[in-house]
Structure 1
Amino acid sequence: MHEVKTPLIRLAKRDAMPAWQVWCIRGSSFIAAILLGALIFLVLGNNPISAYGTILSGSLGKSTAIRQTVKIAIPLLGTALAIAPCFKMRFWNIGAEGQITAGAVAASYFALFWADRLPGPALILVMAAAGAVAGGIWALVPAFFKAKWGTNETLFTLMMNYIIIGVVRWLQGGPWEGRPGSQIIPQFDSKAVLPKVLGVHCGWIIVLVLTVVMFIYMKYTKQGYEIAVIGESENTARYAGMNVGAIIMRTMFLSGAISGLVGFIVASGANNTLYDGVAAGVGFTAITVAWLAQLNPFAMIGISALLAVLEKGADTLQTRMNVPASISDIITGIFLFCMLGCEFFINYRLILRGGHKEVTGA
């Protein structure tokens, strides 16, 4: 017989929690984020109430501010919808940034060189289709290698981001450069710009429609069921007769196509041109949106809106209160950390066993 000392702290998977407890934990994490942010403002010598008021007024105080906030939320929501089916399948698509860029490149080609050949509505439709196809093909490359040879999709999709960004930089300084030496691609013709609805480009309508479509696709279709089964167990899916490789490629093409559509929306609706930072980090931030929403498309709307409010409000904080940009990023990071951290406590519990000993047979 010998004594075995158990660890001081252990993790255990929680059973399903009541909904009210889940929301209490999430509410507590949000309050904790507010308090931690307030502490940062106090250390800097700013009034926390005034600072938070500035964030809210800067993002929601005026109609112009609301429009800017909506513009920030559009690509976040669209990209989160794009990566959701991949993540549900346990395929870690970290390449949305590159797929957005690929879609923007394809859409920009038609905006720059076909504006005098097609009428406005037809041009917009062609740009949207080109962006979706290009994004889908860009995502299909790592999916094919994963399905065929089992490559690591995380590294593959991540590296694909830098390749397409390099292509855009070459286009900026080469065949698509406007004024020689400017390293700038010309602005799109007015026919290639998305029309506005309620003061914001109509991309917000597109992503809201996509939200409904993706909810139905993932919850009520055969393809959505196959994605869920593969996410639970690839062996089970194969035993049930599913072609796992084909489903992986199909799902990744869909994910890339939606990301490419987001690229078209950003290039045509927000920027009206193409440059190497067209994705602006949205492909990575959207991962946080998808996880916080538990891959629920409707929950993604609220989380995208919250992050857009923080981002737009942080910009206002810099201009009105002379708060450094780094501090604004820290505040946003605190909120994200607390929101993600609460999911840990929802799914796991800490077990303290200090000094407890168990006796086992020799």
Structure 2
Amino acid sequence: MGMTFTAWRRVGASLLVTAVGAAGLVAAAPDEVATGGAGSGLVTTWGAADDIAGGSLSDMTVRNVLRTSVGGKDLRIRISNANGDQPLVSDSVYVGRQDNGASVVPGSSRRLTFSGSTTVTIPPGAMAISDPLPGTVPALTSLTVSLHVVGTTGVITAHNRAMQHSYKSTSGDHAADESSTAYQTESSAWYFLNAAIVEAPRPVETVATLGDSITSSVGTTIDTNRRWPDILAARYAKLPEPRRLAISNEGISGNRVLGGIAKAGSAGASALARLDKDVLTKPGVRTVLVLEGINDIYAGATTEQLLAGYRQLIARVHASGRCIVGGTLTPMGSSFVYTPEKEAIRQAVNTFIRTSGEFDGVADFDAATRDPADPSRLAAAYDGGDGLHPNDAGNHAMGDAPNLDSLRCK
């Protein structure tokens, strides 16, 4: 079920930015970097799902921090105004290597262009992809993406509860600043940042993890990249290149398979509603790993309703020529969600995931995190404190759970 992704056209000589030195964002590479090659394709090395942040931003710069999963060349950044209600205008977007907090490694900051221009206007409901930035970006590297907002935003497209600080500046354009001086305000959301895309050797594909707060990894230590998809990415980074896969985390806290709409303070549109936008449009995604359903059970969904939702996800992913892996729902026995009736639904759902054969594979997160003495509960060492969200150790166990070769779409 392979899918070919053609190289995107370079816009002109104005894009040929000289690669900076060893301390910089990218390393200089041979002519192949500028021309591409038949043995490579575009993959999403980092991704986030679009949600909505409250308030507005006016003539200020937001500095987001992301971490690549796989390395590659010709970095592109996808900026999203998908949930906006008016055009998003930026006249200055820079990428650099994170030093510490909001500071950037000196000499690493490089300006992005969009269709050859340093200014981009993104209509409501749309996204924009930057021109490729020649050079190579390593795996497991923290990058800053700084964007100056021209004027005042309307509704802000963002990803809440990112488990990573981003930073808002004082008034004005500070996108090129490598110091943190102007960045006086911390935030727990990624602003307008939807994906980081690189050109990687052809065997590399992307796994998109579709889920809720457990996939967003609420309960892990902020700024430490201890989400279970990060652990999974680190495992792939240790493999020989032909076996590596990139990871794009598409979890939204509070999200459901069946219900929900995107609005400020909400849990985002349902997985069924956002599958195409958040997952299937991201370059290189060949496998969807879905871990979602506990919020549906809490909201009153029946086993039959939830399985019908899964079957729609399966059908749509398969229709797109991709694979889908089911993640068993983790224990909730000592949480506010638990009742005996809801636990029976969780068990029935997990039996379906494990035994129906309708998914292309299974990642047994339930078995990896449950208490052997009481399988309805998280193991005490993995409990983040509310009986529902795994802590750092629990996320590590989850990231170790999938068989690495089983997530490659064949």
Bigger CA radius of gyration: 1
When the two structures are superposed, what TM-score results if normalisation uses the length of structure 1? 0.25
- By relative contact order (CA 8 Å, sep 6+), the higher-ranking structure is 1
The structure with the greater share of residues assigned to helix is 1
When the two structures are superposed, what TM-score results if normalisation uses the length of structure 2? 0.23
